[in-house]
Structure 1
Amino acid sequence: MNVTIEENRSHPHLPDLAAADSIERLTPEAVRAHAATGLAALLVDAVDGGASVGFLAPLETTEAAAWWTGVAEEAGEGLRDVWAAHGPDGGLTGVVTLVRSGAANGRHRGEIARLLVHRSARGRGLGHRLLATAEAHAIATGLSLLVLDTQTDSPAERLYRGAGWTAAGTIPDFAADPAGTLRSTTLYYKRLG
């Protein structure tokens, strides 16, 4: 197998190792199979790293696995799509989910939720690749608008702005970070197509 090594845009002298990570859409069964291991580890790593993704620290692996089991159910119902990045060793290095609106008047939109890249795989463009994968699928399946929210002033904001997302506004004290401190959240949107 030939692997193309791309130049890392944030560090031009380093190879873009994320290009070697393969991204695949997970079936509900695959989400269940990875829930207690790789997916739970990604979620625990994100919370341990200070990411405000809906959980307080310390996040137990069993709680993270239970959340992913619920995601598998949503995927089985067609409400959520899941993509995972696998490193050269086969381990999970990142994940992103796309949640479809259940409202009759919102069938044209979706939400990017839980874009997670393991701390050991950050800075190599993997977050951009996962986001682009979910966006391409959204377009291919007829969605014309995506939304997301993220902690204000977090590193994720740079990723979203760089990928063409527009900040719609900020809500103060919207969610607690993993340490329990209330933080502002910025809402983003992106028109597709």
Structure 2
Amino acid sequence: MSDLEISVFSAEAIEASLAELGQLLQACVHDGASIGFVLPYSLDDAMGFWRDKVLPGVRQATRLMLVAMKDGRIAGTVQLGYDTMPNQMHRADVNKLMVHPDFRRQGIANRLMAEIEAHARKLGRSLMTLDTRTGDSAEPLYTSLGYVTSGVIPAYARDPFGTDRLDATTVMYKLL
């Protein structure tokens, strides 16, 4: 995996990569990832997510975004949300871990998670939290990385394929 490069993406890098980031997000949603979006989901919608939801937090230094590059392409991303209340300055949230379907099963998600945890430590964060669709392939990944299930919330999110089915979410945490 020596050809994999993980780096922090600045606001300028996000702006310059909106189309490719949009393609990554759209590919993940079309592949069934339950990351907050439902089909139909256009490239314009995906680019709008990065521009309108992620970019402001990166600019305000309340969100950190890591990008994994492989073979000259964006292979995956993960975000660290650390805009917490004064009594939660020890905590951060893992958001939107994504690996493009073309790059799955290569250890990229593991590497992104290790890097995001290292950045959380540098920010003085000692508790990581996240949620994932119950039964999804990400759940055993997070468990293997030391995340502990704190509970399951039923009927939490709509199925990404646009059906009326509501999926449960598993809430997890890890002490760093």
TM-score by structure 2 length?
0.95
- The answer to whether structure 1 residue 172 and structure 2 residue 154 are counterparts is yes
- The answer to whether structure 1 residue 20 and structure 2 residue 3 are counterparts is yes
Which contiguous aligned blocks of 4+ residues in structure 1 show a shift greater than 3 angstroms? none
Distance in 1 between the 2:40 and 2:117 partners? 31
Deviations 1:119-158 (A, max 9, x none): 1111110000001100010011100101000000000011
TM-score by structure 1 length?
0.87
Q: Secondary structure at the match of 1:20?
A: coil
For 1:91-110, list aligned pairs within 5 A: 91-110=73-92
Q: Secondary structure at the match of 2:17?
A: helix
8 Å contact kept, 2:32–2:160: yes
Q: Which residue of 2 aligns with 1:189?
A: 173
Q: Which residue of 1 aligns with 2:119?
A: 137
Q: Which residue of 2 aligns with 1:6?
A: none
Q: Which residue of 1 aligns with 2:141?
A: 159
Counterpart of 2:35 (choices 36, 44, 53) is: 53
Structure 1 unaligned blocks of 5 or more: 1-17
Structure 2 unaligned blocks of 5 or more: none
Task: State the one-letter code of the partner of 1:187.
Answer: V
Q: Between Structure 1 and Structure 2, how many residues are aligned?
A: 173
Question: How many percent of aligned residue pairs carry the same amino acid?
Answer: 36
8 Å contact kept, 1:147–1:188: yes
Q: Which has the larger Rg? A: 1
Cα RMSD for the two superposed structures? 1.0
